[in-house]
Amino acid sequence: MNDQSEQWRYHHGDLRAALLDAAERSVRAHGAAQLSLRDLAREVGVSHAAPRRHFADRQELLDALAEAGFTRLGESIRRAVEQTGEGFAARTRHAVSAFAHFATENPALLELMNSTKHQGAPSTARAAEAAFEPIVELIREGQTQNVLEAGEPEELGLILYATVNGITMLVSTNMVPAERLDELTDTAVRQFLRGAAGEAHSQAR
């Protein structure tokens, strides 16, 4: 009993966090499809029925994992925007780069986040919205500076988000080698800024 104390302290009162931690490693290593609740329980040192107290079923755990993923993604994007002060184009490039590298460094997690299944999980949907927020704010900034055309900032934000997400998928599915990630996102951002340019800039050409 004494030599198990470390394991006990780890999940005592925090089995939920311990399970999420083990689940994240499992998803990273083998993908969400291979994740086994019984495996996680074993790894954490608890009976196979214990997770039930914290997650009603397998999907609920996957939803929680996706939610955490969106939260981290949003933080990563927000950090990138805040730490860049050299003008709108550079801020956009850094935000996109943060997104793209987070996605390609966590391909299985992003597959889970992009999965159809967590449609019904409201907290996951909220986390996804929150991750998207810094991008909308960035677009708004570009519109204020008249670098981007006027209009609904959400629309432009969605297109930028979709483009970057799509590019990372090309890499994660091996349709494109990882070495081309930066080249593709740079071209995409450059064209986005041109295609959505405000009057002042598109006339200055």
Is position 25 an interface residue for DNA (rule: CB under 7 A)? no
Q: What is the C-alpha separation between 115 and 12, in angstroms, rounded?
A: 32
Site string for a second copy, 47-86 (x = CB under 8 A): ----------------------------------------
Report helix, strand or coil for 197.
Answer: strand
Residue 148, classed as helix, strand or coil, is: strand
Q: Is 117 in the site for DNA (CB under 7 A)?
A: no
Q: Quick check: helix, strand or coil at residue 133? A: helix
- Based on the shown chain and the rule CB under 7 A, indicate whether residue 19 belongs to the binding site for DNA: no
Minimum gap (Å) between residue 46 Cβ and a second copy? 25
DSSP per residue over 59-81, as a string?
A: HHHHHHHHHHHHHHHHHHHHHHH
Side chain identity, residue 54: H
- Of 50-58, 143-151, 183-191, 193-201, the segment contacting DNA by CB under 7 A is 50-58
Q: Examine residue 175 and tell whether it contacts a second copy (CB under 8 A).
A: yes
**Minimum distance of a second copy from residue 60's CB (angstroms):** 15
Q: Where are the beta strands (DSSP E) in the chain?
A: none
Q: Which stretch binds DNA (CB under 7 A): 22-30, 39-47, 66-74, 192-200?
A: 39-47
Helix orientation angle between 181-195 and 88-105, rounded to the nearest 10 degrees = 140
Distance between CA atoms of residues 35 and 19, nearest Å: 12
Cα–Cα distance for residue pair 189/191, rounded to 1 Å? 5
Q: Which of 128, 136, 138, 181 binds a second copy (CB under 8 A)?
A: 128
What is the contact surface with a second copy in residues (CB under 8 A)?
A: 31, 33, 107-108, 111, 114-119, 125, 128-129, 132, 155-156, 158-159, 161-167, 169-170, 172-176, 183-184, 187-188, 190-197, 202-203, 205
What is the contact surface with DNA in residues (CB under 7 A)?
A: 11-13, 15, 35-39, 41, 46-50, 52-54, 56-59
